[in-house]
Structure 1
């Protein structure tokens, strides 16, 4: 059973990646039930909004083993969208995998670390005031990347893993149409090929492991051109030509969904496509993929600015920022250049409902990039919320032969301490 599922999984993702846009009639009919104007306006013009959707039904057998059925709407891996912060998920996984590969009991995700500089525009980082220890660590970077989508956390994980290892590892796992080429700070392609020296410290501040600066000599395949828009701003000047994403990060939606599935359901994917993680790693990931910023003590985020549904696009109601009772969403989102993207595993512990949903949408009516005039609030977020509710309401009434046991995803979340530390606001994300 598991062997057959793995073969089908491989066939699905290897053959689908190079097809024409795929749309299943089931989703067309389901989406017709939602009469909301903003939802229908997008669904009627999928090419204009570059919308892609993957909905995954999960069914359990009598031993609680899951099986997956994927439905698609306008999905095409050759139709570029900017992945933005969604790439923080694979970077977190690769960071944990690298730590495990070091096989040094003294160097874990909680071990203090420091970054030096060894090349143009590289910056040092020796302390982290948001961490309980006062030092950066892979665990702290993952918390920050997942809870509020912190950009510095991503860039530091990029520097720890290294550009070459990032791409080689993802390609070796079968994510061939994916590339990670840059930090989230302004650097040249050459500067992004160079990554910082890193060292890990024990509790006394003594260096216990060092990693030298690295340089990626591997070439990238930039033959597929990706240009969007009618113009873009460079500093204060409007350039009247499309914005070129050809050498930017790339991660197709089906790859994003697959990576999340490999985390939430590792036994459902072939062993070659799993990340080398420990049981404690999985528990840690589940906690911070689903925990709210206002529940977290380190970092102590401003719960008003970073409300419960802040990075839960499918449940981000513009009127109410609280999540429904009994629901936790294990997900990663990204937003930049008019693109909004989310891949989620939704667990409703109250109603014993689970499903996966991934989507991306592009909202840039004037066709100008870098002008900060995107329709996130008027089209993007309302559409994704309506999409999430359409699928969730369907799942509430969908018949299942076996009720899922979701205990493996129930987490003992933190409770915010009542202390005098200032809250963290205005994160660069």
Structure 2
């Protein structure tokens, strides 16, 4: 298959945003201070439904560093499913119970998962929790299964040279500790099907100097003066995140190098997990009072507690938020009006420069901006004429 050509244009998106600058507020008016980055992809189909992409960029050249937070869980889910396929061990699937041995001083073990219907952990259950509520422990268990070295080498092999996945999330661990990953085993009833020993990555990362803010709260709540050092933390540029999403939504339209080794069944499972709402899930189950329908849907719906999302719209996405950085990457479809587009954005909501005291700004600045941005793009897509309307039947899924 021939490599697709993706035209790169900046003027259109810049003009569109400028036309809505009052609605976009301070984030757009002070875009540099908010480290604003946006990528919007228009999708046009030909008579055979083959997609052609036109990419528009804002604030990505040069792209300032942003902490990717939970967006790293997207490649984790993809690589975990791919590794299962590559193992080719009879009986080892995403549904097979997986048990994790403890690493003293680094990571606890896992022998049961009370959130699962059968109380047993599995790759599929971890992936569901990652997309439903952005569960940190679920990501950490996939990180341990994949291994730090394979995680990065595989992404680099696919052409994502700038990505660095260097640590678990939500745990105050030193760099050296995150190089170690737990021993795991897949076991069905009393039969051990596969064991993976504990490992230590010796991977060399390209040196970076990423410093943010002028003060921060450490994991004990103590205020530390001086910028927070992100040089040894995860790095996932927005262009790469956007392309990772495109590669699984449209695997037939990316180069073989950037295609994950996944089956159609794997992809359908991912689409369901990415677009399902917490209230639609029966395994696991979540309290709708805390995990609302739009809990992880920031672009277009702003994660609003009282927001009711129309049934004809689905969002296939993965957001992340931490240390003042708020990011979302999404494929948004409207089945009635036959609308589809890709949209990714990242902002730094912390204007005060004290990291760790960001939660109010996520709610008052970050999420409202992402909602407004999504609404502007969606409204424009509703009005945009297309030679051939998209067939979106692939993304009509059963959720209950």
Please give the TM-score of this superposition, normalised by the length of structure 1.
0.89
Shift of 1:304: 2.2
Alpha-carbon deviations, 1:55-75, whole Å to 9, x = none?
A: 000000001111100001111
Residues 163-172 or 231-240, more deviating: 231-240
Partner residue, 1:262 = 247
| Structure 1 residues without counterparts, runs of 5 or longer | 17-22, 415-429
User: Which of 77, 98, 115 does residue 83 from structure 2 map onto?
Assistant: 98
Report matched runs for 1:343-354 at 5 Å. 343-354=329-340
Q: How far apart are the structure 2 equivalents of 1:353 and 1:267?
A: 20
Cα pair 1:310 1:316 within 8 Å, conserved: no
Partner residue, 2:209 = 225
Q: How far apart are the structure 2 equivalents of 1:373 and 1:389?
A: 23
Cα pair 2:41 2:56 within 8 Å, conserved: yes
Residues 98-107 or 115-124, more deviating: 115-124
Partner residue, 1:252 = 237
Say which SS state the counterpart of residue 380 (structure 2) adopts. helix
Partner residue, 2:179 = 193
Report matched runs for 1:293-304 at 5 Å. 293-304=278-289
User: Which of 312, 316, 333 does residue 326 from structure 1 map onto?
Assistant: 312
Partner residue, 1:277 = 262
Q: How many residues are treated as equivalent by the alignment? A: 397
Shift of 1:36: 4.0
Q: How far apart are the structure 2 equivalents of 1:86 and 1:313?
A: 13
Cα pair 1:77 1:254 within 8 Å, conserved: no
Q: How far apart are the structure 1 equivalents of 2:356 and 2:382?
A: 40
Shift of 1:86: 0.1
Partner residue, 1:365 = 351
Alpha-carbon deviations, 1:223-248, whole Å to 9, x = none?
A: x2100101112334322211110110
Q: How far apart are the structure 1 equivalents of 2:345 and 2:198?
A: 37
Alpha-carbon deviations, 1:155-183, whole Å to 9, x = none?
A: 00000000000000010000000000001
Q: How far apart are the structure 1 equivalents of 2:114 and 2:257?
A: 38
Say which SS state the counterpart of residue 130 (structure 1) adopts. coil
Q: How far apart are the structure 1 equivalents of 2:272 and 2:70?
A: 19
Q: How far apart are the structure 1 equivalents of 2:69 and 2:61?
A: 18
Say which SS state the counterpart of residue 73 (structure 2) adopts. helix
Partner residue, 1:242 = 227
Shift of 1:188: 1.4
Partner residue, 1:340 = 326
Q: Once superposed, what is the RMSD of the aligned Cα atoms? A: 1.6
Cα pair 1:60 1:404 within 8 Å, conserved: yes
Residues 72-81 or 381-390, more deviating: 72-81
Partner residue, 2:370 = 384
User: Which of 96, 121, 137 does residue 152 from structure 1 map onto?
Assistant: 137
Shift of 1:313: 0.3
Cα pair 1:57 1:356 within 8 Å, conserved: yes
Partner residue, 1:114 = 99
Cα pair 2:350 2:358 within 8 Å, conserved: no
Cα pair 2:46 2:388 within 8 Å, conserved: yes
Partner residue, 1:418 = none
Partner residue, 2:44 = 59
Please say if 1:129 is aligned against 2:114: yes
Q: How far apart are the structure 2 equivalents of 1:76 and 1:349?
A: 34
Partner residue, 1:140 = 125
| Structure 2 residues without counterparts, runs of 5 or longer | none
Say which SS state the counterpart of residue 345 (structure 1) adopts. strand
Please say if 1:408 is aligned against 2:394: yes
Say which SS state the counterpart of residue 411 (structure 1) adopts. coil
Please give the TM-score of this superposition, normalised by the length of structure 2.
0.96
Alpha-carbon deviations, 1:93-141, whole Å to 9, x = none?
A: 0000100000113000000010002453221100011112211100000
Cα pair 2:300 2:373 within 8 Å, conserved: no
Q: Which runs of 4+ in 1 moved over 6 A?
A: none
Q: How far apart are the structure 2 equivalents of 1:128 and 1:82?
A: 29
